[in-house]
Amino acid sequence: MKKAGFVLLVIVFAIGCAKWVSVDISDDSIVLVSPTENQVDSLQKKTFVWEELEGAKKYRLQIASPDFSDISYYALDSLVLGTSYSTSLIPNTYEWRVRGENDDFNSVWSTRKLTVSIPVEEYDKKFQSKINNIKGKAKLDGFRKGKVPNDVLEQRYGSSIHADVVNELIQSSYPTALTDNKLNPASAPTINLESEDPKKPISFSAVFEVFPDIKPKLSRWTNYENFSISISADDLDLAIEDILKRYGEWSDVSRASKEDDQVIIDFVGMIDGEEFEGNSAKDFKLVLGSKSMIPGFEDAIIGKKPSEFSIKSTFPDDYFKKDLAGIEADFKINLKTVQELKIAQIGEDLFSKLEMDVKDEPAFRKEISSRMQKEIEVQEKDLTKESMYEALLKTNKFNVPNVTVKEQADLMRKDALMRIGHSEENAGEDLFPIDSFMENAQKRVKLDLLFAQLVKHFDLKVDQEMLDSFIEKESKKYKDSDQFKQWISGQPQQLDQFKMIALEEQLVEKLENALKSKDKVIKFSELSNK
Q: In the structure, what pLDDT confidence band is assigned to residue 43 with cuts at 50, 70 and 90? A: low
Q: pLDDT value at position 418?
A: 84
pLDDT at 7 over 60: no
Q: pLDDT value at position 215?
A: 83
CA distances from 367 to 236, 239, 355, 377 (A): 11, 12, 11, 16
- Bond before 212 cis per omega within 30 degrees: no
What's the chain's average pLDDT?
86
Q: In the structure, what pLDDT confidence band is assigned to residue 3 with cuts at 50, 70 and 90? A: very low
Mean pLDDT of 472-494: 88
- Which residue type occupies 403? V
Could you give phi then psi for residue 359, rounded to 5 degrees? -115, -25
pLDDT tens for residues 17-36? 444 557 888 778 788 888 86
Residues 253 and 188 in one domain: no
Q: Which helix (H) or strand (E) holds 229?
A: strand 223-230
Residues 159 and 73 in one domain: no
Residues 6+ apart with CB under 8 A from 155: none
Q: pLDDT value at position 145?
A: 65
Q: pLDDT value at position 142?
A: 64
Q: What is the DSSP string of 105-173?
A: -BPEEEEEEEEEEE-HHHHHHHHHHHHHHHHTT---TTS-TT---HHHHHHHHHHHHHHHHHHHHHHHH
Residues 6+ apart with CB under 8 A from 250: 262, 339, 340, 341, 342
Q: pLDDT value at position 14?
A: 38
Residues forming a β-bridge with 332: 268, 310
- Cα 35–39–45 angle (5° rounding)? 60
Of 342, 361, 395, the domain-final residue: 342
Q: Pick left, alpha or beta for residue 124 (phi over 0 → left; psi -120 to 50 → alpha; otherwise beta).
A: alpha
pLDDT at 364 over 70: yes
Residues 401 and 422 in one domain: yes
Is 0.85 topped by the overall pTM? no
Of 65, 85, 106, the domain-final residue: 106
Mean pLDDT of 191-214: 87
pLDDT at 144 over 70: no
Q: pLDDT value at position 250?
A: 96
Residues 122 and 98 in one domain: no
Winning range, highest mean pLDDT, from 85-89, 206-210, 327-331: 327-331
Task: Say which CATH number the domain at 315 has.
Answer: 3.10.50.40
Residues 312 and 387 in one domain: no
Q: pLDDT value at position 18?
A: 42
Winning range, highest mean pLDDT, from 89-98, 308-317, 399-408: 308-317
Task: Say which CATH number the domain at 495 has.
Answer: 1.10.3120
Residues 450 and 386 in one domain: yes
pLDDT at 138 over 50: yes
Q: pLDDT value at position 225?
A: 94
Residues 201 and 62 in one domain: no
Residues forming a β-bridge with 170: none
- Bond before 66 cis per omega within 30 degrees: yes
pLDDT at 227 over 90: yes
Residues 384 and 514 in one domain: yes
Closest CA to 111 of 441, 399, 396, 397: 399
CA distance 279 to 294: 12
Is the sign of the CA dihedral 415, 416, 418, 423 positive or negative?
Answer: negative
Task: Say which CATH number the domain at 59 has.
Answer: 2.60.40
Least reliable range by pLDDT among 209-218, 290-299, 340-349: 209-218
| Pairing state between β 92-101 and 58-64 | antiparallel
Q: pLDDT value at position 1?
A: 41
Of 208, 229, 257, the domain-final residue: 208
Residues 140 and 94 in one domain: no
Residues 146 and 102 in one domain: no
Q: Is 221 contained in some domain?
A: no
Q: In the structure, what pLDDT confidence band is assigned to residue 9 with cuts at 50, 70 and 90? A: very low
pLDDT at 277 over 60: yes
Residue 191's domain spans which residues?
115-208
